[in-house]
Amino acid sequence: MPRRRLSGIALASPALLWWAGLLVLPVGLVLAYSFFERGVYGGVVYEWTLDNYRRAWDTLYLSVLGFSVRVALETTAISLVIGFPVALFIATRPPRWRTALLVLCILPFWTSLLIRTYAWIVILNDEGLANRALRSLGLVDSSVRLLYNELAIVVGMVSTYLPLMILPIYAALERLGPELGEAAADLGATAWKRLWTILVPLTAPGIAAGCIFVFVPSLGNFIIPDLLGGGRRQMVGTLVQSQFLEARDWPFGATLAVSLIAMLLALVLVQAWLGNRALGEREGPARAL
């Protein structure tokens, strides 16, 4: 075996062993419940069945999935549109300032998501700041329903997951150093084109990572649809959790989880296989180290 591969395996093994024991085994066992039956009062009865998978193929669950995917895509798209320029801004500041600015973006996230979400409720409700501002600016006559709907969910999601978009893009941009400074300095008509053709491909791994970091958790989040959505629309995260907790139907919960994981896995693998998306094309000559 070439030395490179051997050293690669050696470096990767602590993490992979950790995952073998703490991830694959426990999670695998739980997911395996999907092939068994629910006990009358909860729990798992070890009778092999594919019924759970038959049950999962249902327009109800598909529509919940569809709604979740839509919201997650909206969130990801908006986070990308905002996150990329923000990361670019930070990466083009003098080095002293970069970490400070980055941390400034992260700080809000060290306060509780739950509390911040409740703050959004205060801001978005009929008598809240947003409506009062809209009314006093004369943009609307009476309060607009900004809460307990899809709009509120997306606003909450973006404000929650934005740093997960900013950080990886920043990490990728930061490495570009001087070329970046030039590109930023020339930001005019042709420079935008330059941005597009040069900068984006170079930071593609960061962008891809950011998109996945935002898309996946948005899909699985249950707090924001519950609070900001008023519980009026279920998302996939709530659905899976409710099978394990409310329905005490671990086999069916496992089935939905398997389906969700399979879908996302396909997404992630496709992205990895398309080469220069996920973790980047290995530029430069291969080096034996």
- Among 42, 32, 93, 80, which Cα is nearest to 200's? 80
- Among 233, 242, 203, 235, which Cα is nearest to 217's? 235
Please identify, using beta-carbon distances, which residue of 48 and 220 lies nearer to another protein. Answer: 220
Query: In sequence order, which residues have a C-beta less than 8 Å from that of residue 137 and are 6 or more positions away?
Result: none
Please identify, using beta-carbon distances, which residue of 11 and 200 lies nearer to another protein. Answer: 11
CB of 241 to another protein, least distance (A): 4
Q: Would you state the structure tokens that stand for residue 221, as one six-digit string? A: 């989040």
For another protein, the binding residues in 217-256 under the rule CB under 8 A are 217, 220, 226, 230-234, 237, 239-250, 252-254
Q: Which of 105, 134, 144, 198 binds another protein (CB under 8 A)?
A: 105
**Interface segment toward another protein; rule CB under 8 A; list 69-77, 83-91, 131-139:** 83-91
For another protein, the binding residues in 173-212 under the rule CB under 8 A are 174-175, 184-188, 191, 202, 205-206, 209, 212
Cα separation, 255 vs 251, in Å, equals 6
Cα separation, 165 vs 83, in Å, equals 6
At 4, give phi and psi (nearest 5°).
-60, -45
Tokens 């296989």 correspond to: 273
CB of 138 to another protein, least distance (A): 21
Q: Which of 49, 56, 73, 98 binds another protein (CB under 8 A)?
A: 98
120 lies in the site for another protein, by CB under 8 A: yes
The contact pattern for another protein, residues 255-274, with x = CB under 8 A and - = no contact, is --x--xx--xx--xx-xxx-
CB of 167 to another protein, least distance (A): 4
Q: What does 110-129 look like in DSSP terms, one character per residue?
A: GS-HHHHHHHHHHHHSTTSH
Please identify, using beta-carbon distances, which residue of 71 and 260 lies nearer to another protein. Answer: 260
38 lies in the site for another protein, by CB under 8 A: yes
Q: Would you state the structure tokens that stand for residue 53, as one six-digit string? A: 């998978």
113 lies in the site for another protein, by CB under 8 A: yes
Burial degree of 113 (CB within 10 A; 0-12, 13-18, 19+): middle
7 lies in the site for another protein, by CB under 8 A: yes
Q: Would you state the structure tokens that stand for residue 212, as one six-digit string? A: 């996945």
20 lies in the site for another protein, by CB under 8 A: no
